Amino acid sequence: MKSLDIINEQVNTVEVNPIEHNVIQKKERFTFIDLFAGIGGFHLAMHNIGGNCVFSSEWDKDARNTYETNFKDISPNLFNDNMFAGDITKVDPNEIPNHDVLCAGFPCQPFSQAGYKLGFEDTRGTLFFNIAEILKVKKPKAFFLENVRGLMNHDGGKTFEAIKNTIEELGYSFYFKIVKASEFGLPQHRPRMFMVGFKDKTIDFKFPEPIKLTKTMSDIFEGKVNREIGFTLRVGGKGSPIDDRRNWDGYIVDGEEKRIGIKEGRRMQGFPENFEFPVSKIQAMKQLGNSVAVPAIQAVGLQLVKSMEENNVKSK
């Protein structure tokens, strides 16, 4: 079993490695914060490429339980130093540790004044404003945001325009792309909006090229499945008849109908086999459906870190 403290020797792969409790990463490549953390998909991906998480926030009590269970040993500073916050709106940005990369899979909300200035002030009253405030106060080297594909056209495109303008107003570059989980080794489409930017605008960022799919739904179920790439894992709506257009969790496996469970959901999102869910099955499936696809985050995160490192070398 590969341990996380030697992952820096394998940074060119998007393979997600098992979490080994009581193992603390020894070599720090960069620091990051994990906002709207959920169960820690960003944390796992960024840790795998050499990151040290110095602050995290998640308000949902069940998600917090799962997060702490899986990361209390590899990132003990979060819990020992009271750096695992609940409601981010109640956190003073000045109290957040300095960090290199801000990571967030933030909720999408309409901006009440969007369409006027479409900048920093227009985001007040939304959860994105808290991200903007942290960027403004802490000035990290880079950010990495994730959201649903529909963000592009949300509120007639005003929400995305306000986000882009706000970030650029704060002095960052802004790159974005719709990335599918299936492009980075997972057999589900799961298209998501990835946004990356740097304080140093001379950094020319390019999203990583997709890799060949090597794992199919047959690997997920350990049996012959009627689909190579599965439906996007999501929250709600499960249990529909297998031939219903609303079905997303039913598959024909070895000739029999089967539904996705925690084991299959964990594999479809790229979490290691020993990732624990100390919650009910209902909560676990909800948490998996809300999570990021770990290998996709890891691949883009690696490209982000390499871009920063290459720029530092060039500037010396």
pLDDT in tens, 157-209: 888 888 899 999 999 999 999 999 999 999 999 999 999 999 999 999 999 99
Check whether 263 has a pLDDT greater than 80: yes
Rounded Cα distance between 199 and 135, Å, is 10
Exposure string over 169-188, b if 16+ CB within 10 A, otherwise e: ebebbbbbeebbbbbbbbbb
How does residue 113 score in pLDDT terms, banded at 50, 70 and 90? very low
264-301: per-residue pLDDT in tens?
Answer: 999 999 999 999 999 999 999 999 999 999 999 999 99
Q: What are the Cα distances from residue 249, in Å, to 171, 228, 231, 235, 281?
A: 43, 14, 7, 10, 14
| Tokens at 70, concatenated | 């899986």
Q: H-helix or E-strand containing 294? A: helix 294-315
Q: What pLDDT is stored for residue 44 in this prediction?
A: 97
- Please list the active-site residues: 108
Mean confidence (pLDDT) of the chain: 86
Report pLDDT for 191: 93
Predicted TM-score (pTM) of this structure: 0.88
Cα separation, 187 vs 253, in Å, equals 15
For residue 116, the model assigns a pLDDT of 47
8 A C-beta contact, residue 243 and residue 264: no
Cβ atoms 160, 122 nearer than 8 A? no
User: Rounded to an integer, what distance in angstroms lies between the CA atom of residue 305 and that of residue 79?
Assistant: 25
Confidence of residue 3 (pLDDT cuts 50, 70, 90): very low
Distance CA 125, CA 129 (A): 7
Q: Cα–Cα distance between 161 and 139 in angstroms, integer?
A: 21
- For residue 257, what are the β-bridge partners? 252
* Alpha-carbon span 4 to 17, nearest angstrom: 7
Q: Which of 139, 151, 102 shows the shortest CA–CA distance to 304?
A: 102
pLDDT higher for 15 or 67?
67
Q: Is pLDDT above 70 for 81?
A: yes
What letter represents residue 281's amino acid? K
AA identity, residue 231: F
pLDDT band at 121 (very low <50, low <70, confident <90, very high): low
Residue of 18 and 51 predicted with greater confidence: 51
Which residues touch 249 (CB under 8 Å, ≥6 apart)?
Answer: 231, 233, 238, 239, 259, 260
Report all structural domains of the chain as residue ranges with CATH numbers, in order of start.
4-212+293-315 (3.40.50.150), 217-285 (no CATH)
What pLDDT, in 10s, does the model give residues 13-50?
Answer: 455 554 444 344 457 899 999 999 999 999 999 999 99
Token pair recorded at residue 15: 């393979």
Is the CA virtual torsion 141, 204, 192, 158 positive or negative?
A: positive
